[in-house]
């Protein structure tokens, strides 16, 4: 199963890749911003996408809307290091299925993957 990780922090993308591999998911692609994410999403059609809500340029909410427009069945997990109820609400209303607080850990990531990878 293909997974996309979108975050402007290369260090965080690497951490997510390592965590995903530890919980058994090896087919991971990544993107650093809205434009790259849309291209990768269209080309790879991942089953699950982890999208940081704060990206340079267009936001993660904008990206979530674009991904849902491309594939209405996309499973998008919003992420942020900032706990902002309005941002969480906006991400879920735009089509995200879940929200993951950054930095995450193996237990939290495994719980999300178990819920949405079927």
What does pTM read for this prediction?
0.96
The Cα 104–Cα 79 span in angstroms is 9
The Cα 95–Cα 28 span in angstroms is 21
Placement of tokens 């998911």 in the chain = 25
Query: Does 118 score more than 80 pLDDT?
Result: no
Residue 32: its pLDDT value, please? 98
Residue 83: its pLDDT value, please? 84
The ranges assigned to domains in the chain are 3-112
- The stretch 50-63 carries a mean pLDDT of 96
**Contact call for residues 40 and 74 (beta carbons, < 8 A):** no
Residue 2: its pLDDT value, please? 97
- The stretch 51-76 carries a mean pLDDT of 97
Give the CATH superfamily of 3-112: Response regulator (3.40.50.2300)
Question: pLDDT by residue (tens digit) across 13-44?
Answer: 999 999 999 999 999 999 999 999 999 999 99
HSE (side-chain half, CA atoms, 13 Å) at 118: 4
Angle, CA 17 vertex, CA 47 and CA 97 arms, to 5°: 40
């Amino acid at each position: 199963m293909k997974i996309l990780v979108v975050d402007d922090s290369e260090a965080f993308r690497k951490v997510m890749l390592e965590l995903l591999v530890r919980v058994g998911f090896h087919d991971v692609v990544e993107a650093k911003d809205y434009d790259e994410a849309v291209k990768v999403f269209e080309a790879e059609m991942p089953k699950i996408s982890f999208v940081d809500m704060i990206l340079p340029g267009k936001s993660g909410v904008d990206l979530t809307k674009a991904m849902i427009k491309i594939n209405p069945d996309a499973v998008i997990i919003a992420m942020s290091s900032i706990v902002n109820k309005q941002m969480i609400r906006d991400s879920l209303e735009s089509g995200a299925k879940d929200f993951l607080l950054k930095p995450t850990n193996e237990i939290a990531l495994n719980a999300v993957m178990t819920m949405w990878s079927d």
